[in-house]
Amino acid sequence: MRDFAGKTAVITGAASGIGAALATKAGALGMNLVLADVAADDARALAGTIAGVGTLVVHCDVSDETSVKALADAAFDRFGTIDLLCNNAGIVPGGRHRLVWEYTPGDWQWSLGVNLYGVIHGLRAFVPRMIAQGSPSHILNTASVAGFVSGSGSACYGAAKHAMVRVTEALYAGLRQVEAPIGVTMLCPGLVRTQIYEAERLRPAALADHDRPVESADLDAMRDDLYRHALGPDEAAVIAFDAIEEDRFYAFTTEAFDTAIRARADSILARTNPSFASIVEMSRMESDGRARQ
């Protein structure tokens, strides 16, 4: 996709972080914007800062199929065609490090609901209509390096991201199979300075984890330290739009996790028992690498 001006982008999780940066970048390129978020007031405030293009703000919970269908109806009703769909909304359950058997059913339902089903609902609501349009368009799914590495840490988030990577690869292959003129980019960020670790404020009450231990000061300090040198969301948006423009599937924002991705693949192919690097260590490598730049 090379011409953006006058086209229309739908962005989920548009109120903050990478989604807000994608919206700002798309607006600067002259695209009309459909900004979707559970934090609709924040999305509305962002819309007020983007001048000169048509904007529609929709309160949408991507984990709810009906809500995403309503988003698609509102977007197509207002703008007629959708040229860029960004399935970007995501959350990380908060609290201390948990082992895979310690996450609650609410943690799983919330993480899979937003990070995996959010993408599935987005594809089901938009792709058939984007194919029917017949015009060239593009889909950006925000994955994570957590969708490629493994180990004991962040399993509830990582499992959802691994699954949505598989979904996004199937999307790419399926669209080629039916010869639809729709490009696909999978944004795979490492550390990006956003509100992702404050997502607990958005957890639905029905999925509350009443036993959730409060964050320890140590964990907070470690995160602050890791994220001090993290990529800005605006830089992540530039990487995403470069890949969209060049019709590239993979858009990684860092190489710091490559060794771990390769080691996992090598161990699968050699049938050797895995030895996973810790996600904190890999994040530290990314952070230290950026601090030296």
Ligand X SMILES: NC(=O)c1ccc[n+]([C@@H]2O[C@H](COP(=O)([O-])OP(=O)(O)OC[C@H]3O[C@@H](n4cnc5c(N)ncnc54)[C@H](O)[C@@H]3O)[C@@H](O)[C@H]2O)c1
Q: Which of 39, 155, 237, 239 binds ligand X (CB under 6 A)?
A: 39
| SS3 labels along 113-137 | HHHHHHHHHHHHHHHHHHHHHCCCE
Per the CB < 8 A criterion, the answer to whether 17 and 94 are in contact is: no
**Residue 37 phi, psi (nearest 5):** -165, 155
Using CB under 6 A as the binding rule, whether residue 61 contacts ligand X is answered as yes
Which residues, 196 to 215, sit near ligand X by CB under 6 A?
196, 199, 202
Tell me how far apart the alpha carbons of residues 157 and 169 are, in angstroms, rounded to a whole number: 19
User: Closest distance between ligand X and the C-beta of residue 178, in Å?
Assistant: 26
Residue 157 designated active-site: yes
Q: Which is nearer to ligand X, 63 or 150 (CB)?
A: 63
The CA-atom distances, in angstroms, between 120 and each of 69, 88, 89, 170, 224 are: 12, 12, 12, 11, 32
Report CA dihedral (274, 279, 281, 282) to the nearest 10 degrees: 90
Q: Which residues pair with 34 in a beta bridge?
A: 10, 56
Comparison of 39 and 165: residue with beta carbon closer to ligand X: 39
Unique residue bearing structure tokens 């049938």: 271
Nearer to ligand X, 80 or 221 (CB): 221
Closest separation in Å from C-beta 213 to ligand X: 21
Q: DSSP state, 288?
A: H
Residue 63 in the binding site for ligand X (CB under 6 A): yes
String marking each residue 115-154 x if it binds ligand X according to CB under 6 A: ---------------------------x-x----------
Q: Which is nearer to ligand X, 114 or 182 (CB)?
A: 114
| Per-residue contact string for residues 84-113; x = within reach of ligand X by CB under 6 A | ----xxxx----------------------
Angle between helix axes 155-177 and 118-133 (nearest 10 degrees) is 20
**Complex with ligand X: residue 87 or 104, whichever CB lies closer:** 87
| Range in contact with ligand X (rule: CB under 6 A) among 44-52, 58-66, 130-138, 216-224 | 58-66
- For residue 91 the two structure tokens come to 């959350």
Q: Which residues bind ligand X (CB under 6 A)?
A: 12-13, 15-19, 37-39, 60-63, 88-91, 114, 142, 144, 189, 191-192, 194-196, 199, 202
**Active-site residues: which are they?**
157
